[in-house]
Each structure stands twice: as structure tokens, then as C-alpha cells.
A and B are shown apart, each in its own frame.
Chain A
């Protein structure tokens, strides 16, 4: 059996290779740099680096930026870029997770009704809450609650299913709940026509320039959700064999799926609460990684975190600079640049995988 001993070290799963990890991190760092530097006020890269060094308490480093520039950098640009990174990382990772858990290449983070629920929550907040209340705090909270309630309802409806149809039934239940919530949302919106524009703006998605408060708001959700998903990435590979085979390999399929879906949903609901509905990221980022690297979930999931963050930071740069001082809705940008880019990747790559 010497051949076996000789080859044992070659028998391994393709995890995250250093090359891919470094490329992805480099992409993220470049995106972050562009995100911080781009804007109506020119900040010199050198001065920004000095300011960052000073903030990190690097010995001897002092900032050469004016107090106004410091404020622009640390109270507007950096939090907005970090917020975009968190939302992008969450949506891409949740999309990849849903695709794995439901073995459906078209699954996106909104599959189980989180978008429709959040949309209803946000619309109700905009339509019924007094002007003063609906701003910073109430709208995200209402959207978050709406999203979570919708997914809980989806689970409750799906639970009546026979065990062997579990995944498919959940998806159908999600479609049902989403249709119901969307109808309700449309009704509320119709009854309160004066709020149309505000609701519409929310639905198209954007990363708000609200300083650190939104970052602090969603960071715990995104951190926990991503950590749970990354920790379970090998199991997602097992789930791609289907429920039966995963079960016969000793996986408690229902429990694992519940844990993964709860993590992805809570993270997505938090992201949606601050940024509205940003389509496409959850589908486009994982599929681009798949097409480029042809990998399984154990590499795809961590790569989705990093690339998703970089992608949305770049998209947000375009959203706020292309027609400055006006902003283009971020959901429009992600689809507008994402779709042609993905078409290009599809054309270039030979033989894909889902």
C-alpha cells in the first residue's frame, strides 16, 4: 500500500489557497482605498495613510489633514465604506449559503421572504410613524422586524411539509409569504401615495452616510452570521449531495439547515434594514467566484465574504460619484454593472457549475 501512503497528502479538498485568499484580500483593500479616497473633497492618499496610522497609534505618526478633512474621512467616508463592506459581505455570503442549502443556483438572500417582509416593515414605518420618529432608528428596526417575521412565517408554513420535501417546501412557502407581504406592502403604499417616493428610494437601496451608528447597529449580526456560516462551510459541501445522502453521512440535515438559514437571514435582515434592497450581490458574487475558480463551498463561502465586501464598496463608489452630487440607487448600480460583468464572465468561462 505504498502508493496509498505516497498519495495521502495529495488527497485533499480544495480549501482557500493562499493565492486566492491573497488575490481576494488585495481586491478588497484596493476597493476600500478607492472607497475612502473617492468623493467631492479630494483627500491626498499620503495624508489619509498618515491619518490612519495616527488613529492606529503607530508611534511617530501624526495627521496632516485639517480638522474638516479629518471629519470627512472618519465621520463620513470610512464608516460609509465599512458599512458598504459589511452589507456586501453579508449579502454575498448569505446568497452563497442559500444556494448551497437549497441546492438552487438562483437562490438569493431574499429567497425566504426577508425582502418582502422588510419592505412591508419599512413601508409601514414610513407611512404611519410621525415624521420625527421614522428617521434613523425606527425605519431599520421596522424593516428588520418585518424581514425576520416573514422568514419565521415561511418556516412555520414550510414545517407542515413531509420530511423528504423539506427544502422545496420551504422555498415554496417563501414564495407564498413574499407574495402576501408584497401585496400588503403595495396596499399600504397605495393608501399613502404621498410616501411613494420615500418607499421607492428605500426599495432601490443605498448605503446611508449616517456615520458609525449603522455600522455599530449591524456589525454584531454580520459578524455572528458570517462566523457561523464559515464554521459550517464543510457541512454545506455535504448538503450539496442532497438531503438523503447528507443524512446517510450522519448530518442532521434539518438542524444544520435551520442554523444556516437563521444565520443568513438574521444577517441579511440587518443588512437590509440599513441599506434597503440591494439585488444581485447575493447571486452575482458567488457565481463569479464559482465560474472563476470552480470551487466548493468551503472555499466559496470565505471568498464570498471578502469579494462581496469589495464589490459593494466599489458599487457604492459608482453610486455616489457617477452623477455627483446626485446619488444613483445602489441596487441600480449593482445590477447595471453586475449584469454585463457577469455576462462577460459567462462568455469567457468554459463550462460552469452551480
Chain B
């Protein structure tokens, strides 16, 4: 059974189909990258899967219709890491990560031992135990990003949706964050769907890609099948070279003037 099944999913915002009849499926334990130019509908599609926008069509998670799941149950199935998460400055890292336990608690309950264990595991996994008492405002960008991922882990959902997980990070922290997610996927069989702008990073980590343009699926498949000069030129309007790197591929932008002269 696939972890995520999208059937003719459309999202209309302001009279425009931002996501237009998208069908796709993601296998359990798979890393799927959503790529596409700005405004292609990547973020909106992720939000639809998390039922944060109204959508038409069917989204099935672990065999269950998203539209019919109670909110709490949906949150136990899927965790969402937004592109710009809100990190209240006064909150400690522990408090923030414990909020990830919300779907496992009644609205009147407080965290019990099981919840604190889950949060402690997530903190340990993200190497944040030493920072657990620190307020979020005192963390660096990279540490804060780890806290956000730790919160998603504490949620103990099998599916994690990430919107540009590395947008705010330098190249070292980008690599760290993606290695970490990949490790978690391998260890615990998480299913990851990440919207990514950096095509080289996407090619390095994702097993499969969906290229969106104008809300529609323009291409789908292994990175080598999607990241072709023709497809990227056609949908991003970018001139690139695809070069093999360590068994995977990298995307290198080509300067047009240089190209013309050469």
C-alpha cells in the first residue's frame, strides 16, 4: 500500500486552480521531492495533503481519506514542517518540541511520561538535549531548524511533509539537515515529501521527483528522468547542464552569454 495516494487533486484559490488535477502516489519509506518554478503549486499541494486548504479530488493516507479523518487523527498520520515555522521567542526548546505531542493529547490533558519520552528521543536524535532549556530566540538559525524537525519527530507521524526544509540554511547546515532526514527515513521508515528549490540537493537525496508547473504534473520519475536539460528549460526557463556526481546527478546553471560565445 502506498503511504500517500493523490487522485485528481485540485485546489482553487482566488478563482485560480493553483493545483490542477494532480495524481501521484508515494510509497512508504520513500523520499519524494516536489520541484517546479515559483508559483507551481508545490506549497499548496503540501498544504492540501495536510488539509490546511480545501481541495477537490481524493487524498488517501495509509488507506484513509484525508477529507474524512478527524483533525487529531490526521495529525498522528502526517507532520508538516512549514517553510517559515513560527517559533515563539519565549518558548524553550523542550516546550516547543513537546507541542509536537498535541495530537496525542486530549485538549484538556497535559503531557505524560510517554510524551516526555517521545520529546526526549526527538531532542536526542537532533542533538538538542543540551539546548533543551534554551529559549528559541537564543538559538541560531540552524539550531532552530533542528528544533522544528524535532517537533515534527515528536509528533511520531509516519509521513512528514517539508516545505523548503533548507531554504534558510547555509550549505553545511543544508547538508546536515538533509542527511538527518535521510537517516530518519532509513531508520524509522518515514515517508518524506519535500518541496525543494535546490535541484542538486533534491537529486542527491530524493528517490523520486514530481515536477509541477502551473499546478499540473509536468514530469515524474527518477531524478535523472526529470532533471533533463529540455524539461528544465521548458518549465523553469533555465539553461542548465546535468552532470553526474557520485552515482547521482547535479544541476549546474549555464551562463547564456558564455554559451553563445563558445
Interface on A for B, CB 8 Å cutoff? 1, 3-5, 7-15, 163-164, 231-232, 234-235, 237-238, 240-242, 244-245, 247-252, 256, 290, 294-296, 298, 351, 353
| Chain B count of residues within 8 A CB distance of the other chain | 51
Interchain Cβ contacts within 8 Å, total number: 120
Answer yes or no: B7 CB below 8 A from chain A CBs: no
User: In the complex the two chains form, is B52's CB within 8 Å of A4's CB?
Assistant: no
Complex contacts, B86 vs chain A, CB 8 Å: 240-242, 245
User: In the complex the two chains form, is B102's CB within 8 Å of A12's CB?
Assistant: no
Closest to B148 in A: A245
Complex contacts, B117 vs chain A, CB 8 Å: 4-5, 8
**Among B82, B89, B92, B116, contact of A14 (Cβ-Cβ < 8 Å):** B92
Answer yes or no: B91 CB below 8 A from chain A CBs: yes
User: In the complex the two chains form, is A13's CB within 8 Å of B74's CB?
Assistant: no
Complex contacts, A164 vs chain B, CB 8 Å: 53
Closest to B14 in A: A162
Query: Known contacts A245-B82, A252-B71: does B50 contact A232 (CB below 8 Å)?
Result: no
**Among B47, B89, B102, B123, contact of A238 (Cβ-Cβ < 8 Å):** B102
User: In the complex the two chains form, is B99's CB within 8 Å of A237's CB?
Assistant: yes
**Among B52, B92, B95, contact of A247 (Cβ-Cβ < 8 Å):** B52
Answer yes or no: B141 CB below 8 A from chain A CBs: no
Q: How far is the CA of A231 from the CA of B155 in the complex (A)?
A: 22
- The distance from the CB of A117 to the nearest CB of chain B, in whole angstroms, is 29
Complex contacts, A351 vs chain B, CB 8 Å: 137
Complex contacts, B50 vs chain A, CB 8 Å: 247-248
Complex contacts, A7 vs chain B, CB 8 Å: 120, 123-124, 129, 132
**Among A13, A245, A251, A256, contact of B98 (Cβ-Cβ < 8 Å):** A13
The stretch of B55-63, B104-112, B194-202 in contact with A is B104-112
- The distance from the CB of A32 to the nearest CB of chain B, in whole angstroms, is 30
**Among B54, B74, B82, B129, contact of A3 (Cβ-Cβ < 8 Å):** B129
User: In the complex the two chains form, is A294's CB within 8 Å of B94's CB?
Assistant: no
